[in-house]
Amino acid sequence: MRQQIAKVLKMLKKRWPNPGAMEIGNPYQNLVGVMLSARTRDEQVLKLMPGFFKAFPTVGKLAGATTKQIESKINTIGMYRQRAKNLKKMAEQVVRGKGGRGGKGEIPNTMEELVELAGVGRKTASVVLVASFNTPAIAVDTHVHRVTNRLGWVKTKSPQKTEEALLKLVPDQYKHAVNQVFVKHGRYICIAKPRCWACPVRDLCAFKNKNFVAPKNADAILEDMKRRENALEDLRQKAVV
């Protein structure tokens, strides 16, 4: 199984070579991006990032801002009032040294410390650990949960259980790639009605109801995938001022 896991991840990394959408900047910028991206389109978050980081370039500046000031920079996304409260409290915690790495103002680099911060759960913490600290972790969202179950790697009923299973199953050197490739794969190809006709790992997949019939507009669908990925990567690269 581990050999198959490595093979699948290598193949999908070739198909989806770009980093995760919120793998941006330094640990502070990375954490803010991931916090804002929960239940929100990546494109919406990336578009507001330049203005946000121009206003709050450091965690100290964010801690010193009012909630209203923070709201004004994120009010283009949903639940912005609650998100602003979480961002301010998180920043205040970091500035005070809560969970810091030997000093105030440093974003924590362990799962245990990160999840103590306001608005930070295991999924958010996992993305930050991988992107900012090169620490083996697996962030499991609905895409990762769906795709790994279809592949037959796990048989789980919830993202939490999927994370537990994958952490035991996936070798450390490949854990960083799981969220990167499966979020994109689940968004474009392994959708509710899967596009198995476009899947490079379909022969390594245990899913029984495969859809091998390409639609008449298959070329247009593939071109749209490429366009969307290129647009997202362009936004990601411009997210940090």
Catalytic residue, candidates 141, 155, 216, 224? 141
**Has 219 been annotated as catalytic?**
no
Residue 123 among the catalytic residues: yes
Is there a contact between 44 and 50 (Cβ–Cβ < 8 Å)? no
* Tokens (6 digits) for 122: 């295991």
109: buried, middle or exposed (CB in 10 Å: 19+, 13-18, 0-12)? middle
Handedness of CA 227, 37, 73, 238 (dihedral sign): negative
Considering 73, 123, 175, 184, which one is annotated as catalytic? 123
Kindly state the helix (H) or strand (E) to which residue 168 belongs, with its residue range.
helix 159-169
At residue 95, the 3 state secondary structure works out as helix
Radius of gyration, alpha carbons of the chain = 19
Q: Quote the CA–CA distance of 172 and 182 in Å, as a whole number.
A: 17
Cα 96 from Cα 90, distance rounded (Å)? 10
Report yes or no: 126 and 139 within 8 Å, Cβ to Cβ. Answer: yes
Classify 152 in phi/psi space as left (phi over 0), alpha (psi -120 to 50) or beta. left
Report, as residue numbers or ranges, the catalytic residues: 123, 141
